[in-house]
């Protein structure tokens, strides 16, 4: 994919729109107005101000003809979001990497209802790092180590570490203690996540997800567990713990989904990305980063 012709602005990438192959819109603006009818007035303002451009960076006008399969780029007005009342702790920063300790309830990247209130946008704004990009992701309700690349030229090298499973990840979780459950053990299953469906699920077939689970200590009816995922499927650790009959405390998705208000911070998911380690793809130096956060029983 070619780079966007507009830079990051106020921590946010421009929106990229591909124009449909089939359509009867006489102008590009007519298409935008039909697709985003509630934003009609602002779209006219943006086009009038030259803020909507094609893939070559050329501003469109009110009379620019609709071009099937073309691209448009523009900045959408960021939504008004209540601030997630938890801070990001910076653990390491150099010219290539930024490693942070993400709190529970803060999204890693802009998505859905959480755009401005995401770790990526906060850090881009606070540190003036427009090229900052996540090397991997954590669920919004999972806390712990999150690695970003600082410069575009090194992005692929570090992202490949995660894509190619050359990173050792260790998580910590609190969950019910079952004295009859033999641990440690390695859980393997086939996990799928369907678009538009909140929960991932295990299905028959060749395994594509693997997690090593061991019990560290017991306090009454609660155990503290070390989780070492070998793969990175959506909700993998949460689903594997639930499948063993010991769902992670505070998990409103597994085994059954129940709704939680966006501003209800009373019961965080008791899952922490404790550490990440890898051999640096540029220097060969072994790196290890560890969270300073704790899960309190």
pLDDT for 23: 82
Whether 79-164 and 169-278 share one fold: the answer is yes
Confidence check: pLDDT of 1 > 80: no
| Average pLDDT rounded to a whole number, residues 206-231 | 97
| Cα gap 131→152, rounded to integer Å | 6
How far, CA to CA in Å, does 221 sit from each of 94, 175, 218, 238?
A: 43, 9, 7, 19
pLDDT, average across residues 225-235: 96
Look at phi and psi of residue 198 and say left if phi exceeds 0, alpha if psi is from -120 to 50, else beta.
Answer: alpha
Look up the CATH number of domain 79-164: 3.30.2350.10
pLDDT in tens, 104-115: 999 999 988 899
Average pLDDT on 184-193 reads: 97
Confidence of residue 268 (pLDDT cuts 50, 70, 90): very high
Cα–Cα–Cα angle for 163, 169, 174, nearest 5°? 130
The owner of tokens 């019961």 is 267
Q: How confident is the model at residue 297 (pLDDT cuts 50, 70, 90)?
A: confident
Residue 180 has pLDDT above 90, yes or no: yes
Mean pLDDT of the chain: 95
Both structure tokens of 277:
């380690």
Q: How many CB atoms lie within 10 A of CB 272?
A: 25
Kindly indicate the confidence band of residue 266, based on its pLDDT and cuts at 50, 70 and 90: very high
Q: Where in the chain are the domains?
A: 15-74, 79-164, 169-278
Q: What is the pLDDT of residue 16?
A: 95
CB neighbour burial string for 137-169, b if at least 16 within 10 angstroms, e if fewer: bbbbbbbbbbbbbbeeebbeebbebbeeeebeb
Q: How far is CA 277 from CA 16, 124, 161, 201, in A?
A: 34, 24, 10, 28
Q: Does domain 169-278 have CATH number 3.30.2350.10?
A: yes
Q: Distance (Å, rounded) from C-alpha 186 to C-alpha 230?
A: 10
d(C-alpha 237, C-alpha 22), whole Å:
43
The mean pLDDT of 7-26, rounded to a whole number, is: 93
Q: Measured between alpha carbons, how far is 204 from 239 in angstroms, rounded to an integer?
A: 15
Q: For residue range 47-103, list pLDDT tens digits in order.
A: 999 999 999 999 999 999 999 999 999 998 888 899 999 999 999 999 999 999 999
Handedness of CA 20, 23, 28, 33 (dihedral sign): negative
pLDDT at 8: 94
Length of the chain: 297
Predicted local distance difference test score (pLDDT) of residue 22: 85
Q: What is the pLDDT of residue 112?
A: 82
Concatenated DSSP letters of 263-275: T--SS---EEEEE
- Angle at the Cα of 193 (from 170 to 35), degrees rounded to 5? 120
Quote the radius of gyration of the chain (alpha carbons, Å): 22
The pLDDT > 70 percentage for the chain reads 100
Strands 222-229 and 97-102 come out as unpaired
């Amino acid at each position: 994919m070619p780079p966007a012709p507009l830079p990051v602005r106020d921590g946010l990438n421009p929106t990229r729109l591909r124009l449909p192959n089939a359509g009867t819109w006489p102008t590009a603006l007519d298409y935008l107005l039909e697709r985003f009818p509630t934003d009609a007035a602002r779209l006219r303002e943006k086009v009038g101000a030259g803020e909507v451009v094609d893939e070559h960076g050329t501003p469109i006008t009110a009379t620019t003809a609709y071009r099937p399969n073309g691209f448009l780029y523009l900045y959408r007005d960021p939504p008004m979001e209540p601030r997630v009342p938890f801070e990001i702790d910076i653990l390491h920063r150099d010219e290539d990497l930024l490693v942070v300790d993400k709190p529970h309830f803060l999204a890693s990247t802009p998505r859905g209802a959480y755009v401005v209130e995401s770790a990526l946008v906060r850090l881009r704004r606070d540190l003036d790092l427009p090229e900052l990009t996540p090397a991997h992701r954590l669920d919004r309700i999972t806390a712990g180590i999150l690695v970003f690349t600082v410069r575009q030229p090194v992005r692929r090298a570090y992202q490949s570490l995660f894509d190619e499973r050359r990173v050792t990840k260790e998580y910590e979780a609190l969950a019910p203690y079952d004295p009859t459950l033999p641990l440690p053990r390695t859980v393997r299953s086939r996990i799928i996540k369907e678009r538009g469906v909140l929960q991932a699920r295990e299905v028959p077939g060749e395994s594509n997800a693997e997690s090593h689970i061991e019990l560290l200590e017991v306090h009454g009816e609660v155990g503290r567990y070390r989780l070492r995922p070998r793969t990175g499927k959506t909700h993998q650790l949460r689903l594997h713990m639930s499948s063993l009959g010991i769902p992670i405390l505070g998990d409103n998705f597994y085994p059954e989904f129940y709704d939680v208000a966006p501003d209800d911070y009373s019961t965080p998911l008791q899952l922490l990305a404790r550490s990440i380690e890898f051999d640096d793809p540029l220097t060969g130096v072994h790196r290890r980063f560890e969270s300073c956060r704790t899960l309190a029983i």
